[in-house]
Structure formats: structure tokens, C-alpha cells
């Protein structure tokens, strides 16, 4: 399969580490120029250097902006005004008792997990449509479908993304632009390691802690392990490529069989 993205420009939000960094690396390997986004310019510069070491032939553009705000979205547009591929990966998560989540925290989750992607789609989709080619992706989660009791605010924000993706796909209908969601399953990132240790004994070695977490808190997983970020990135790169031209308005799962469904 030829996933050539040469001549294309991509922006991956929240890509200084974890799944976002893996997606940025994957798109760069396929030939795209990739905007790498983070809030802190210093840390972002370090992340870009790591990506350049990982993908020596890749072209990376740092986009320092807090995309959970309107001002941050404007800064991102100034840094990278025109993209062919928009991957809305930015998100926050964390455990909290359902009845103790404040209005302010609900708003914060929607600003970052939902509205950040809406703003950028609103800015970039018209130009993609005018050109007759583009890719918009939202990184959702198994939590969008199986709402976790320990973080319902996160799950609901990801559920909203599925509706956002389907709605913008209708806006792009017939234009050559595809809009899709990727339902990522429990994935091994630094942030998830912290989350796992919120729920299991912090004295356990990581391999054992991971197994306990999956057994006690994610027993539906058919993979029975955490997914590696590169496994998410592989699907994103495919959906970003010309080969995925007939896939739009979809919620495509790379969840290790976590969601108990025979439909994608």
C-alpha cells in the first residue's frame, strides 16, 4: 500500500508526546510536513527535536499554542495557516467522582476536548473543500461508547466528538474532503501510566500494574494489553491518505476489541 503524503501539510494538535507525537511521526514518514503542537514553547522545541531524530527525513513545524482557547486557535492559524490534514488529537482526562465534577471542570473538558477541534475545523474545512481534497480526523476514545464511571466528563466529551465528526462529514459531502473519528482504546502513554496508578497500587511494577488495571478496570479488552501509540498512528496515517477516499463520516475503531460491538 502506498500511503504517500508528499506535498501535504498536516497539523496534529496536542502532539508533543504520546499518541499525538506518534501520529506526527507517522505522517512525517509518509512524506507530510507536520505541524507539532503544544502549549509550552520550550517543551515543544524539545519534542520537535526528538521527532527529527526519530524521522530524520521528516519536516516538522512547531506550533506553540493553547488550543483550548480562542486566542490559541488564532496563534495556531498564524503559525500554520493552511493545512491539508487536520488531526484533532488534543485532549485531557482524569479520574473524578461523578457527583463532584464542577461546572467549571465540565466546561474545561468541553473547551479542550470538543471546541478546540470545532474551531480548527471551522477554519480549515472551507479551504480544503475549495481545493477538493482534505482530511479531518478526531481522536475519540472507547470511553465515548463505554462511559467510564470514574471519568464521565471525559467520556461524554468524547461522545460529543463522534457527533461533531459525523456532522462535519455531512458539511463536506461530495467535496473530496473526508471527516472521520478514530476510536482509540486504552493506550500506553505517560499520561495513562499516571492514570493507571490512580486506580491501582502505586507500589506495583509497571508491567504488573498494567495487567491489574486491564483485568479490573478494562476487562472487555480482547487484546488484554494496552495499545501502543504507534498502533493508533498507523490507522490515522491510512485515513489521512488518498487510499481512504471512500471512508468518511465514520467512527473507526482501533480499540483492541474493547467495545463489545460487531459494527465499527
Same domain, 114 and 243: yes
Kindly report, residue by residue over 102-129, the tens digit of the pLDDT.
999 999 999 999 999 999 999 999 999 9
Residue 36 belongs to domain with CATH number: 3.40.50.720
How far apart, in whole angstroms, are the C-alpha atoms of residue 170 and residue 249? 7
- Domain that includes residue 202, residue range: 188-226
Same domain, 156 and 56: yes
Examine residue 42 and state whether it is found in any structural domain, yes or no. Answer: yes
Same domain, 99 and 153: yes
Pairing label, strands 85-88, 59-64: unpaired
Same domain, 160 and 192: no
Examine residue 260 and state whether it is found in any structural domain, yes or no. Answer: no
Examine residue 195 and state whether it is found in any structural domain, yes or no. Answer: yes
Write down the pLDDT at residue 111.
Answer: 98
Is this model's pTM higher than 0.85 or not? yes
% of the chain with per-residue pLDDT over 90: 91
**In this model, does residue 241 exceed pLDDT 90?**
yes
Same domain, 217 and 112: no
How far apart, in whole angstroms, are the C-alpha atoms of residue 109 and residue 68? 9
Same domain, 107 and 205: no
Kindly report, residue by residue over 212-239, the tens digit of the pLDDT.
999 998 899 999 889 999 999 999 999 9
- pLDDT, mean of residues 156-172: 98
Cell 502505586 belongs to: 202
Examine residue 261 and state whether it is found in any structural domain, yes or no. Answer: no
Examine residue 3 and state whether it is found in any structural domain, yes or no. Answer: no
Same domain, 119 and 238: yes
Same domain, 103 and 80: yes
How far apart, in whole angstroms, are the C-alpha atoms of residue 53 and residue 25? 10
Same domain, 179 and 192: no
Give the active site residues: 154
Examine residue 60 and state whether it is found in any structural domain, yes or no. Answer: yes
Write down the pLDDT at residue 192.
Answer: 82
- pLDDT, mean of residues 233-251: 98
Same domain, 49 and 173: yes
Q: What is the mean pLDDT of the chain?
A: 96
Which among 113, 87, 120 is positioned nearest to 20, based on CA atoms? Answer: 87
Examine residue 262 and state whether it is found in any structural domain, yes or no. Answer: no
Provide the number of structural domains found in the chain: 2
Amino acid at each position: 500500500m502506498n500511503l504517500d503524503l508528499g506535498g501535504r501539510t498536516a497539523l496534529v494538535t496536542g502532539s508533543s508526546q504520546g499518541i499525538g507525537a506518534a501520529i506526527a511521526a507517522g505522517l512525517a514518514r509518509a512524506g507530510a510536513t507536520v505541524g507539532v503542537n503544544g502549549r509550552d514553547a520550550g517543551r515543544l522545541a524539545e519534542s520537535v527535536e526528538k521527532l527529527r531524530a526519530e524521522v530524520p527525513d521528516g519536516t516538522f513545524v512547531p506550533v506553540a499554542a493553547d488550543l483550548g482557547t480562542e486566542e490559541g486557535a488564532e496563534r495556531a492559524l498564524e503559525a500554520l495557516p493552511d493545512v491539508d490534514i487536520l488531526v484533532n488529537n488534543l485532549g485531557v482526562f482524569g479520574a473524578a467522582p461523578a457527583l463532584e465534577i464542577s461546572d467549571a471542570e465540565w466546561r474545561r473538558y468541553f473547551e479542550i476536548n470538543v471546541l478546540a477541534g470545532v474551531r480548527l475545523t471551522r477554519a480549515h474545512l472551507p479551504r480544503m473543500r475549495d481545493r477538493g481534497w482534505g482530511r479531518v480526523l478526531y481522536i475519540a476514545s472507547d470511553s465515548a461508547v463505554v462511559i467510564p464511571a470514574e471519568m464521565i466528563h471525559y467520556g461524554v466529551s468524547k461522545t460529543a466528538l463522534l457527533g461533531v465528526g459525523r456532522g462535519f462529514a455531512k458539511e463536506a459531502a461530495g467535496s473530496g474532503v473526508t471527516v472521520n473519528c478514530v476510536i482509540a482504546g486504552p493506550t500506553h502513554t505517560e499520561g495513562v501510566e499516571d492514570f493507571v496508578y490512580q486506580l491501582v497500587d502505586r507500589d506495583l511494577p509497571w508491567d504488573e500494574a498494567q495487567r491489574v488495571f486491564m483485568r479490573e478496570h478494562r476487562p472487555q479488552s480482547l487484546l488484554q494489553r494496552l495499545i501502543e501509540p504507534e498502533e493508533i498512528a498507523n490507522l490515522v496515517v491510512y485515513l489521512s491518505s488518498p487510499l481512504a477516499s471512500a471512508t468518511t463520516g465514520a467512527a473507526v475503531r482501533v480499540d483492541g476489541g474493547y467495545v463489545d460491538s460487531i459494527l465499527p
